[in-house]
């Protein structure tokens, strides 16, 4: 995984192995850092419990699937980014490209801490993920979400994603109106 920061208008060399770090104000964007799995599961668990009634099933699903993804991570097809403020992870996004040639790349674990929203962090994370897919020449990228997450939906649509499927389902442990969005390059 590449560890880097991107400035608002500049790249800053990182002393670690000549890689780059992304800097946006006080926000640092990087790849995997220790504690990422637990923190990302916590962000998902606390937000979706408080606002949508999701429970242990959902939080454990995030932790298990994210752990499995990172253990098999392949730089050729997978991307993973976290946003940190004062060394605390406040956001994440991943591209799971294991089936990019058949189903498309899968955008997953996109979240920004409630207290850090409306600062451009989500936009920067999504931009990195979409650019990664373009650079890898994936034909498409898709994501699953559910009805009611309007700010996220607005951001997806701003980046060119369109909803291509909608149905009742319970893949996250609670029945919601699941939605599949897709961006075709």
Q: What is the pLDDT of residue 24?
A: 54
Q: 56 has which bridge partners?
A: none
Q: Of 19-28, 61-70, 170-179, where does the model show the most confidence?
A: 61-70
pLDDT, residue 6, reads 42
Instruction: Give dist(CA 113, CA 88) in Å, integer.
Output: 10
pLDDT tens digit sequence for 31-79 = 999 999 999 999 999 999 999 999 999 999 999 999 999 999 999 999 9
CATH number of 12-141: 3.40.630.30
Cβ-contact 112, 122 below 8 angstroms = yes
Specify the pTM.
0.84
């Amino acid at each position: 995984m590449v560890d880097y920061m991107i400035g608002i208008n500049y790249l800053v060399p990182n002393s670690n192995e000549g890689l780059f770090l992304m800097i946006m104000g006080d926000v640092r964007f990087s790849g995997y850092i220790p504690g990422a799995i637990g923190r990302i599961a916590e962000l998902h668990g606390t937000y979706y419990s408080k606002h949508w009634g999701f429970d242990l099933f959902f939080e454990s699903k995030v932790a298990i699937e994210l752990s499995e993804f990172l253990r098999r991570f392949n730089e050729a097809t997978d991307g993973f980014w976290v946003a940190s403020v004062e060394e605390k992870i406040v956001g994440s996004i991943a591209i799971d490209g294991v089936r990019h040639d058949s189903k498309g790349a899968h955008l997953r674990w996109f979240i920004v801490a409630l207290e850090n929203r409306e600062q451009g962090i989500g936009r920067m994370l999504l931009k990195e993920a979409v650019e990664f897919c373009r650079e890898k020449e994936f034909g498409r990228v898709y994501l699953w979400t559910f009805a009611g997450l309007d700010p996220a939906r607005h951001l997806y649509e701003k980046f060119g994603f369109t909803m291509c499927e909608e149905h009742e389902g319970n893949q996250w442990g609670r029945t919601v109106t699941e939605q599949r969005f897709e961006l075709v390059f």
